[in-house]
Amino acid sequence: MRLSTLRHACRNLPTPSVHQPRTGVRVFGLAKSSLPLGPSSNSQLLLRAASSVSGTTSAEKAPKLGKQTDGPGYENTIRENVQRTKEEMVALQRGHPALKPTLAIIQADEDDRLLELNKKMAGKIGLNVTQICLPRECTEDEIIEEVLKLNEDPRVHGVYLHLPPASLTSRVLNTLRPEKDVDGVSDLNVGRLVRGDMNQGFIPPLANAVMELLARHGEQRKIVLVVGGEGPLGVALQCLMQRRGMVVLHSRRSSEVLQKQVCTHRCRRAHTHIHLHKAHLQHVSIDTLCFDHSVAVTDLCQSGGNIAIIDHGMEMSGVGPLTAALRMQNVVQSSSRWAQGQQYRPWTLRSLKLQPLSPVPSDIEISRAQTPKPVDQLAQEIGLLQEETEAYGRTKAKVRLSLLDRLREQPDGKYVLVAGITPTPLGEGKSTVVIGLVQALSAHLKLNSFACLRQPSQGPTFGVKGQRGQISTRISMLEISMLINESFNLHLTGDIHAITAANNLVAAAIDARMLHEATQKDKALYSRLVPSVNGVRRFSPIQISRLRRLGISEIDPSALTPQEVSSFVRLDLDPAKVTWQRVVDTNDRFLRKITVGQASTEKGHVRETQFDIAVASEIMAILALADGLGDMKTRLGRMVVGSSRSGQPVTAEDLGVSGALAVLMKDAIKPTLMQTLEGSPVFVHAGPFANIAHGNSSVLADKLALKLVGEDGFVVTEAGFGADIGMEKFFNIKCRASGLRPNVVVLVATVRALKMHGGGPNVSAGSPLPREYIDENLSLVGKGCSSNLRKQIQIAHLFGVPVVVALNVFKTDTQAEIDLVCQMAKESGASDAVPCHHWARGGRGSVELAQAVKQAGSQPSHFQFLYSQETPIVEKIRMIAQKVYGADDIELSPEAQAKIDYYNQQGYGKLPICMAKTHLSLSHMPEKKGTPTGFTLPIRDIRASIGAGFIYPLVGTMSTMPGLPTRPCFYDIDLDPVTEEITGLF
């Protein structure tokens, strides 16, 4: 509701007929130099002091109202308000010791009296005051710029605009965030007052002060004439007076109209006149208390009424101080609300209804049939503050990490990991189980629940549809059941592009540094690395860090010895030992091996290198494991990009690029908030490989979600590939880095995969399924359950976490097969085993799973790591091979053994292990299904991601750049230029 509408409504409120004798009239005048009262300069007024006369208009005979009877008068009122506010302040700071309530004053008025009065009152109560001084001729945009800064400053709890009347435009006043508008002048706060909703709004302090004066002088249930009052103050006064049973009359501003109205029978009935602008009485000088020339007032006086005149003399001792005290009361109230808002708030999640159809429509049809909630509404429902989100369009938003500080004391919810049995090349639907489970928990069991998913790579989106190979992270719309937004499989919020830019900046820095070192002497190189600016040479902070690592304490560039200069400028990277590759988020097989430096400008410095797909970058793994911006910056700096000719590791910090990398990644570190088709919240963040990296979504997404759901809520996340790979890495790498401990493992199985492990024919992407997978075959299902399913349950038990088996039901599965799987899963040690029908029924199809997870989550979790950090590298690898994969032993190649010796020498021996092996078998042989035994696991090479914080042994050959098939998906993808509708993406 706009303010003009409110004014109209207030002016037209019914005025009952009152026939009572007029025993006296009080006139309260309001003059200039005041508080912000509204967009009209005529409403920028300050309530003056009051005095009383009896049958005369002589100022000399008028005693000061502030000195009247009624106890000590206004001083008592002020003192009581100050004391009450101080007590509220003490109670607030007792509960929130770190809170410092602060009032910000924007000043562009030369009159400092009110300013000093407010600062003095703030000091009495113990409030902090910050003052922003602007020139009197400042523009509207300059004021708004300062207001916007204060809106976003969490240290400021109230804003007071001490500005010239002409500067207080509607645009300025409504720029104020309502929760910081302690003068109650924004349209929203005035609207709240009119509606009687003051739980979040503020009563204008001046209007409040007037009401206190009226109450003190017994002006209850009388007729009041308000002259002027076209701004928020007038609206507020009318509302407050009418609530106290007063009849409020209103007069226009012009003196002619006022004289006529005052002389009318209607206005003569008024017991109290309140003037909101002295210009209304053109012949009256309120400042000099001379009313002899006012026809209106004289007429009232001649009628025998008593007049109390508000006098300029009490500005600093009467209503002015009272108004200031009430403003400070609003600041303390605002601070209290802010403190309450920082606490955990119960969710008010509104679920979106689904209408399941049979047969199940296509992915894109499901997506477009549902209208998502605006992301700001979703954020509010789950307890996020406005300043904690950054919207990317209507359905996506980044969430700021400041949430972790706000909810630091909030207990975490239950932590659920969704893993799977060894999959077929088609995948078994772990992502769909995550979404179905969260929808069942939140929309159907009404438990706070959050899904945390990896961001899919854009490469496979245009490559092989449905591909679930080593590097595919594409998640179809059915798997996601969510986002009602094609951007999930495209750019999303640009995190992968940021990773690509950061990764390739490192690659460019490596080649450029090798070229410059090869073509320049030490002195020339030094003069360019530490240039003279205005005759002064200084090391940058990152160069000082390099000096410290070299053991050089000198920070004066001119004081280094020639040997120190040489050590500083020479990284001496060995081109044959550069391990850093360029990346691109496109499937491009011809970039698997390339030659760089062939231009004549590179002076023959040619070397072979390669491109990886963007999600294979170590920076992606760092994004997934970092627990804050500072931790990410440290990890980026310690990334090893190669070795020097002397065998020393060279890091990104040695290159001087780590600070720039942090800048490129500063927004990517914030998780992206989206929603499922049923309106449940989802964090999409990070998407590292599940072979050469750990294959889990980010630590930060999990931590934010665990705080948001509250102690009784659930956070459900996914591990890539089977439990032997994704789950093991989740526990030994991610949980070790995050400090989080899971409560439940959900192990996803399908009848199709179990038949394959029971001896069924091979399954391959793009080929029709053999009949064994379509027809009922209890024998194959039973053998698969007794081999692979049982083994995967045992792997989960190695870590001491309860297991619930979720059977992802396909339409070809028979009831007998479903019952057999559930029975054998429980016999193998699962806490429970239930069928899931989320693919066809949404969250309703996973209610049974949700109930089983809730029950398992109430059981104690005895989580433990598989190995200690102190365990030697070789023994860590052996423990994983024997206890998880079922191997007899491991076999290290000479190259692998040499790398282990090197990593031990460099102090990397305590890092966890990230095994890079096929996901299609428990062994290193993808054709071996079920539970292979009697094999030795070969380790052909060992590499390290020092920034991410793990060592990854290579078991077989790992491809880090996929290629396009004969018929890629892009043949089916198109855009309607009129409707902008995308087709063929799902």
What pLDDT digit, counting tens, does each position of 539-568 carry? 999 999 999 999 999 999 999 999 999 999
**Residue 593 near residue 610, CB atoms below 8 Å:** yes
Indicate whether 264 pLDDT > 90. Answer: no
pLDDT of residue 69: 31
Indicate whether 577 pLDDT > 90. Answer: yes
Q: At what angle do helices 187-195 and 3-11 cross, to 10 degrees?
A: 30
810 classed as catalytic: yes
pLDDT of residue 487: 61
**DSSP symbols for 774-786:** TS--HHHHHHHII
pLDDT of residue 451: 97
pLDDT of residue 238: 85
Instruction: Locate 909 and state its tokens.
Output: 């021996």
Q: Which pLDDT tens digit goes with each residue over 410-446? A: 999 999 999 999 999 998 999 999 999 999 999 999 9
pLDDT of residue 76: 83
* Bridging pattern class, strands 950-954 and 714-718: unpaired
pLDDT of residue 985: 72
pLDDT of residue 70: 39
pLDDT of residue 349: 95
- Evaluated on CA atoms 561, 566, 571, 574, the torsion sign reads negative
Catalytic residue among 102, 169, 432, 586: 432
92-100 long-range contacts (CB < 8 A, ≥24 apart) are 92/332, 92/335, 92/336, 92/339, 95/339, 96/339, 99/335, 99/339, 100/128, 100/155
Q: Which pLDDT tens digit goes with each residue over 477-509? A: 444 444 445 566 677 899 999 999 999 999 999
In this predicted structure, which of 89-93, 469-473, 816-820, 851-855 has the lowest mean pLDDT? 469-473
pLDDT of residue 342: 84
Radius of gyration of the chain, Cα coordinates, nearest whole angstrom? 37
Helices and strands: H and E segment counts in the chain? 37, 35
603 classed as catalytic: no
Choosing among 3.40.1410.10, 3.40.50.2300, 3.40.50.300, 3.30.1510.10, the CATH entry for 496-665 is 3.30.1510.10
**C-alpha distance from residue 759 to each of 109, 613, 823 (Å):** 86, 34, 20
638 classed as catalytic: no
Residues 6+ away with beta carbon under 8 Å from 483: 367, 372, 395, 477, 674, 675, 676, 682
**478-506: b (≥16 Cβ within 10 Å) or e:** bbbbbbbbbbbbeebbebbbbbbbbbbbb
pLDDT grade, residue 5 (50/70/90)? very low
pLDDT of residue 765: 77
pLDDT grade, residue 772 (50/70/90)? very high
**Distance in angstroms (rounded) separating the CA atoms of residues 964 and 960:** 13
Instruction: Locate 63 and state its tokens.
Output: 């005693």
**DSSP symbols for 92-108:** HHHH-TT---EEEEEE-
State the distance between the two ends of the chain, measured CA to CA, in whole angstroms. 43
Indicate whether 787 pLDDT > 90. Answer: yes
- The CA dihedral of 484, 490, 493, 496, to the nearest 10 degrees, is 150
Indicate whether 986 pLDDT > 50. Answer: yes
Residues 6+ away with beta carbon under 8 Å from 875: 867
Better-scored residue on pLDDT, 848 or 167? 848
DSSP 42: G
Q: At what angle do helices 295-302 and 255-263 cross, to 10 degrees?
A: 10
pLDDT of residue 346: 87
Q: What angle do CA 379, 498, 372 make, to 5 degrees?
A: 30
Indicate whether 64 pLDDT > 50. Answer: no
**Distance in angstroms (rounded) separating the CA atoms of residues 714 and 447:** 8
pLDDT of residue 489: 64
Catalytic residue among 269, 400, 430, 734: 430
In this predicted structure, which of 99-108, 318-327, 405-414 has the lowest mean pLDDT? 318-327
In this predicted structure, which of 773-777, 889-893, 959-963 has the lowest mean pLDDT? 959-963
In this predicted structure, which of 3-7, 241-245, 333-337, 827-831 has the lowest mean pLDDT? 3-7
Catalytic residue among 690, 705, 850, 881: 690
Catalytic residue among 327, 373, 406, 454: 454
pLDDT of residue 540: 96
**C-alpha distance from residue 83 to each of 217, 576, 643 (Å):** 22, 76, 69
From 103, 75, 177, 160, select the one nearest 332 (Cα to Cα).
Answer: 103
pTM: 0.81
**Residue 522 near residue 563, CB atoms below 8 Å:** no
291 classed as catalytic: no
| 97 alpha-carbon distance from chain centroid | 25
Q: What is the mean pLDDT of residues 177-203?
A: 90
Q: What is the mean pLDDT of residues 148-168?
A: 92
**Distance in angstroms (rounded) separating the CA atoms of residues 699 and 395:** 23
**C-alpha distance from residue 697 to each of 194, 398, 436, 729 (Å):** 48, 15, 18, 12
465 classed as catalytic: yes
Instruction: Locate 791 and state its tokens.
Output: 């083994």
DSSP 887: -
Tell me which H or E stretch contains 839: helix 838-841
**Residue 503 near residue 617, CB atoms below 8 Å:** yes
From 875, 944, 888, select the one nearest 916 (Cα to Cα).
Answer: 944
**Distance in angstroms (rounded) separating the CA atoms of residues 450 and 439:** 9
**Distance in angstroms (rounded) separating the CA atoms of residues 372 and 828:** 41
Q: What is the mean pLDDT of residues 520-535?
A: 95
**754-781: b (≥16 Cβ within 10 Å) or e:** bbbbbebeebebeeebeebbeeebeebb
pLDDT cut 90: percent of the chain above it: 64
Q: What angle do CA 797, 802, 808 make, to 5 degrees?
A: 100
Instruction: Locate 106 and state its tokens.
Output: 């924007």
Tell me which H or E stretch contains 815: helix 815-827
Q: Which pLDDT tens digit goes with each residue over 654-682? A: 999 999 999 999 999 999 999 999 999 99
Q: Which pLDDT tens digit goes with each residue over 908-936? A: 999 999 999 999 999 999 999 999 999 99
pLDDT of residue 273: 54
CATH code for the domain defined by 873-954: 3.10.410.10
- Grouping H, G, I as helix, E, B as strand and the rest as coil, residue 574 is strand
pLDDT grade, residue 690 (50/70/90)? confident
Catalytic residue among 339, 538, 579, 810: 810
Indicate whether 947 pLDDT > 70. Answer: yes
Catalytic residue among 683, 839, 950, 986: 839
Q: Where are the chain's structural domains?
A: 363-493+667-857, 496-665, 873-954
pLDDT of residue 713: 97
Superfamily of the domain at 363-493+667-857: P-loop containing nucleotide triphosphate hydrolases (3.40.50.300)
- Evaluated on CA atoms 733, 737, 741, 745, the torsion sign reads negative
From 650, 669, 518, select the one nearest 580 (Cα to Cα).
Answer: 650
Instruction: Say if residue 977 is preceded by a cis peptide, omega within 30 of 0.
Output: no
**Distance in angstroms (rounded) separating the CA atoms of residues 73 and 912:** 75
**Distance in angstroms (rounded) separating the CA atoms of residues 328 and 809:** 63
Indicate whether 327 pLDDT > 60. Answer: yes
454 classed as catalytic: yes
**Distance in angstroms (rounded) separating the CA atoms of residues 336 and 343:** 11
From 463, 668, 653, select the one nearest 571 (Cα to Cα).
Answer: 653
Whole-number mean pLDDT of the chain? 83
Indicate whether 459 pLDDT > 70. Answer: yes
**Distance in angstroms (rounded) separating the CA atoms of residues 56 and 66:** 19
DSSP 412: P
In this predicted structure, which of 231-235, 304-308, 833-837 has the lowest mean pLDDT? 304-308
- Grouping H, G, I as helix, E, B as strand and the rest as coil, residue 569 is helix
How many Cα atoms occupy the beta-carbon half-sphere of 248 within 13 Å?
A: 24
Q: What is the mean pLDDT of residues 633-659?
A: 97
Tell me which H or E stretch contains 938: strand 936-939
pLDDT of residue 220: 57
* Bridging pattern class, strands 744-749 and 532-533: unpaired
Q: What is the mean pLDDT of residues 713-734?
A: 97
Catalytic residue among 580, 714, 721, 986: 721
**Distance in angstroms (rounded) separating the CA atoms of residues 174 and 157:** 16
